[in-house]
């Protein structure tokens, strides 16, 4: 059982929904980013999604693209991202960390080396946006063998013909993208998301977590009420990008977490 599996088992036993927070590793700099990540569990975050900075993202809107650029400009690398996770693990051995990014930096490091290093750093799962199920032999299956969950995205365009393929080797949870488009581009609507979550749930026992377009406590509550939890990324990253003090960022995160936990 991974930390992700254990977290959902615990939440389920308590009748609670999950709140997942995304932050870009190294944004705006390593030290500030580490301070934010260390504060997330205390702000009510159940699972941390740690963005891996990359020069050519394809699912990220302007807010997260700019965060990635700031991190890269500050010298953030894959190794420093793993270092950040290692540092976090010195104080917290239970909160799951999902590394979210693109395949190029992983490929460049070498899959076998990367998986060993990620496991050693305390990473629990991977979301690799640009590797479709057809490429499962590349990273997904080796990751599962190494004890890491491989989390797949399902979208409004994932029809019933495609869905079984998407779910085939997925573990940990399914990340349902609530809108067609990039992060931060539109607002998620519970009335539209609910039936889609139900459709996916009919095909899998995995928890369904919904992300994209969630930017307020009320919206986090509404979306979590029709799923197993909610992810917020751009709204949090926007606070960091605006130069807000870490205490204010974490206070905002807590308001979102409280919203999701009311569901």
Furthest CA-CA distance within the chain? 47
- The secondary element (H helix, E strand) that includes residue 36 is helix 30-39
CA dihedral in degrees (90, 2, 144, 68; nearest 10)? -50
Query: Which among 49, 124, 136, 228 is annotated as catalytic?
Result: 49
Whether 80 contacts 30, CB under 8 Å? yes
Annotated active-site residue 49? The verdict is yes
d(CA 232, CA 239): 12
DSSP string of 167-187? Answer: HTT--S-EEEE-SSSSTTSS-
Query: Which among 60, 124, 196, 221 is annotated as catalytic?
Result: 60
d(CA 90, CA 88): 5
Whether 27 contacts 67, CB under 8 Å? yes
Annotated active-site residue 27? The verdict is no
Question: Which residues does the annotation mark as catalytic?
Answer: 49, 60
């Amino acid at each position: 059982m991974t930390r992700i599996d254990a977290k959902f088992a615990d939440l389920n036993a308590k009748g609670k929904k999950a709140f997942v927070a995304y932050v870009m590793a190294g944004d705006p700099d390593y030290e500030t980013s580490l301070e934010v990540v260390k504060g997330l569990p205390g702000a009510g975050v159940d699972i941390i999604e740690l963005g891996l900075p990359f020069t050519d993202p394809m699912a990220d809107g302007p807010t997260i693209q700019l965060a990635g650029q700031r991190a890269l400009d500050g010298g953030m690398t894959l190794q420093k991202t793993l270092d950040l996770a290692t540092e976090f693990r010195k104080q917290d051995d239970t909160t799951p960390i999902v590394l979210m990014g693109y395949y190029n930096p992983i490929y460049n490091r070498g899959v076998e080396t990367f998986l060993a290093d990620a496991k050693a750093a305390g990473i629990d799962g991977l979301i690799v946006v640009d590797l479709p199920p057809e490429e499962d032999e590349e990273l997904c299956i080796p990751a599962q063998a190494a004890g890491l969950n491989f989390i797949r995205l399902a979208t409004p365009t994932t029809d019933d013909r495609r869905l079984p393929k998407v779910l085939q080797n997925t573990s940990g949870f399914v990340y349902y993208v609530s809108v067609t488009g990039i992060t931060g581009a539109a607002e998620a609507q519970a009335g539209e998301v609910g039936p889609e979550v139900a459709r996916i749930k009919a095909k899998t026992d995995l928890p369904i977590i919904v992300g994209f377009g969630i930017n307020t406590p009320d919206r986090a509550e509404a979306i979590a009420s029709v799923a197993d939890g909610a992810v917020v990324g751009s709204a949090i990253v926007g606070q960091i990008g605006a130069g807000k003090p870490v205490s204010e960022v974490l206070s905002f995160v807590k308001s979102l977490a409280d919203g999701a936990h009311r569901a």
